[in-house]
Structure 1
């Protein structure tokens, strides 16, 4: 029976060996199948824990940086002023179409069928009311009566020639109407001091004068020495900006003489041709006016001599304007007149009267509200204009 025991033991051992072989083979086969199902990953491709593909959340691309647009810098538009020559041609046409008292008086005289004493009296009255003044009216009437007594008015063309000649004599084409813009010393600018009461368009005239000079090719600096009127400096600076001209200004209530000096000093340092100084237009008392304008002029002349003193007059104010003109002429050495508002509502005779009363020529005239409605005065053009030619 011993042999049977050992047979049983041998069978069990063989069965154990076969089972081990089968388990080993199956394990190896399982690992091979798993290896084939999973792609091989290089250790250098991914650092850290492996994440299953379905667990990877795609990231959005980075947002584009917001670029702020560059600010648009709008350069101020510099205007090109109208040439002085064409200005006067345009203003003369406007004058010829206006219905001013002087033109009416001359027209009535020429159209009369018979010139008797009553016609002459009416003629003289109309001339005086046109602000021609008593003296010039008497001279013109006597000259016309003498000429027309010889030839009469049978020939209207001849009568008009006589009128033109006598009127031109009164306007006086021999006066020097050019602006003195020649500096007294090399390196100094010419200095133009502009005076006048408020309401005559003084500050506007300074701005328009700057346009006239720029149109002539001159460099200009403006001085806002009217520091008693809050809007004056701002108004003047606006005029300057439009033609590329700098304005020297200060705070309201500042010393006018100091502002005027700074303007001339800047003009000298920058080598400009002309400095135009706008002054206050107060006319409370002659003494106060004299002190103020006198100080402004004295302080300016510490830097450069004053080349021109222009008095701005409103042509529509008549005798009141003449009173103002006389006061200013007593205070400062006026060298020229600027007549503003010499349009259809004006009485053209003031041109002759103001020259006679002050002994200085009308150098510039304004015939409208336009920016280029200021022009050098042309005596012959003025006479032709009021005669409707």
Structure 2
């Protein structure tokens, strides 16, 4: 179990750490290439939707053949995408590299695949805690990598910084060796399902639909803030260092938030925990918008949002394992994450689109508040107990 947690956490640290700093490239790339912010934002929006669409399929492959091959291919695609991102000279090429290629790579190197391994190798009574550890690693990656990426851009230029990160992404390959499974463990005493049966069951189950709706909001909020807040702060006259420290603080405090969510998910109903997280996000955003903007207010907002940032991930995935079991864990997690990434697409794209048309991010900030309230409400009716399947039915030939 220790090897699975260590290697899984390090992979998530790298994969999530690199992507969390992409907002730092918005102004250097758009200024150098002469692109609008919408061009950059659209590429990252495609990245998020590609990550989401590919997630169920990489999850199926990881459930069926084990995670090693998926992680190895994902690491190679990640490195290639970063190199091509640096070399792109048109908006279309940038969308293909930073958007499509890196998005597919992230689907094979982040939570859906890692949580499938954890679900199969960690006892149920420690599963929520273990998922909290993995999510905290992703948060630590943000805290660690964002300042490093900012320093690389300043000292080597934005293109060379991407080349260096491509080399770092290749470290995922040897780490994936620590997650090799002799064979994918199939449940012995539980109802065995085909992929089609599992999908029909999940999508017809109300609680699965509600979890997807909540995760949509999570994606909208965090990706809009992660990509556009650096530029928002610079537009308001704050120094670039404030934006860098803000993103780093989000990563630092999310270490505690995600780990704490994993621990609390072992003790309290996860639906109440999820509802509280979404509701508190809306409160934090409203307070941030109504308070005079200073470096101190930015840092306080970043710390609070950091606690709430990815703290939805452990309880959401733990609920999936509780309801449906672990046989198709990576695939079902991938479908829920697809909803997250549809929200991410809209959050990052609308941020750029509405800024270009109105000259302000205000409309998107308030939309994020309203969605947070809605997500707090839809998570309350989620049923966390194992789904009742009855006696296995004979499969048709």
TM-score range normalised by the length of the shorter chain: under 0.3
Higher helix share: 2
Higher strand share: 1
